[in-house]
Amino acid sequence: MAEFFRVWAQSLALVGFVWACAQPAQAITVRDDRQQKVQIAQAPQRIVSLLPSLTETVCALKQCHTLVGVDRYSNWPEAVKSVPRVGGGLDPNIESIVALKPDLVLAAGSTRGADRLQALGLNVLRLEPRNHNDAQRVWRTVAQALHVPAADSDRAWQGIQAGVQAAVQSLSPAARQQRVYFEVSPAPYGASASSFLGETLTRMGVSNILPASMGPFPQVNPEWVVQAQPDVIMAGDSSRVSMLQRPGWSRLRAMQGQRLCVFKQDESDMLVRAGPRMAEGAQLMADCLNRAAGIAPAAMGSAK
């Protein structure tokens, strides 16, 4: 009789386990940048991402295999290079996106066509990180939407922040005394103190010549930079030629002292994306500042 009850109890436990596994995942509701509620019924299996930082976040959360479409600028990690391209944030290919039958579309708040995609019945989550708080919020929101356990996503985020702090601590005292101009594109647009790049510089104890009041990524009058006289200039390779042609820039102390860090394209991509590679980007900036602080004139001009 005892053996009968033992087998019976084991059978009940097995039935309970099978029943629990068969139940659908609990629906999750998240809020996007517009404070609109987006309900995710179950862990997405077909995701289209229209912003590189969101693509990188999906992959950093170990869900790269769910991406069925990405924007033309998503290029990291290596696995996304074989994923179909569906245009960009300004010109998404609506027909291609719909044809991929995604159960979730990740897009920036400024992505054109997002309303149309929603009208066509697609689940669209709009997120666009601009500062450190945004980056953390977006990370957690994407993790929730992908049904990644909070403990796992929080642990990964803590690792990213530890990397940023390590970069901050790697600065020499002399490097912290410098004033910086960071150019994100040759229009020119700069990174102000209110951007995530500017906030990283602030954590380093470095002064940004572009105040927070200008907005995260303001268009900058080149003459204003001449008047501000930054000690160090950071910019992507695409800005190098235009800088040399701007009136008065040859007289900048940073240019004359060769305290100019020019980042290659892959480095620029890493730097301007508020996502899982923020620690690597912070280390690039720290290395630049350390070199500038103890520079021999011929040593600069490259991010390497």
The architecture in CATH of the region 23-148 reads 3-Layer(aba) Sandwich (3.40)
Long-range contacts of 108-117 (CB under 8 A, 24+ apart): 108/50, 108/51, 108/54, 109/32, 109/33, 109/34, 111/50, 111/51, 117/92
Q: What is the pLDDT of residue 198?
A: 97
Query: Would you say the CATH fold of 163-299 matches that of 23-148?
Result: yes
Superfamily (CATH H level) for 163-299: Nitrogenase molybdenum iron protein domain (3.40.50.1980)
Domain boundaries, given as residue ranges, for the chain: 23-148, 163-299
Cα R_g (the chain), whole angstroms: 24
Phi, psi at residue 184, to the nearest 5°?
Answer: -95, -20
Q: What is the pLDDT of residue 25?
A: 55
Closest by Cα among 184, 182, 180 to 207: 180
Amino acid identity of residue 220, one-letter, is V
What secondary structure does DSSP assign to 108-166, as a single string?
-TT-TTHHHHHHTT--EEE----SHHHHHHHHHHHHHHTT--HHHHHHHHHHHHHHHHH
Q: What is the pLDDT of residue 274?
A: 96
Q: Are 242 and 186 in contact (CB under 8 A)?
A: yes
Q: What is the pLDDT of residue 9?
A: 43
pLDDT in single tens digits along all 304 residues of the chain: 545 334 434 443 443 433 334 444 578 999 999 899 999 999 999 999 999 999 999 999 999 999 999 999 999 999 999 999 999 999 999 999 999 999 999 999 889 999 999 999 999 999 999 999 999 999 999 999 999 999 999 999 999 999 999 999 999 999 999 999 999 999 999 999 999 999 999 999 999 999 999 999 999 999 999 999 999 999 999 998 899 899 999 999 999 998 999 999 999 999 999 999 999 999 999 999 999 998 544 444 444 4
Q: Helices 132-145 and 196-203: crossing angle, nearest 10°?
A: 120
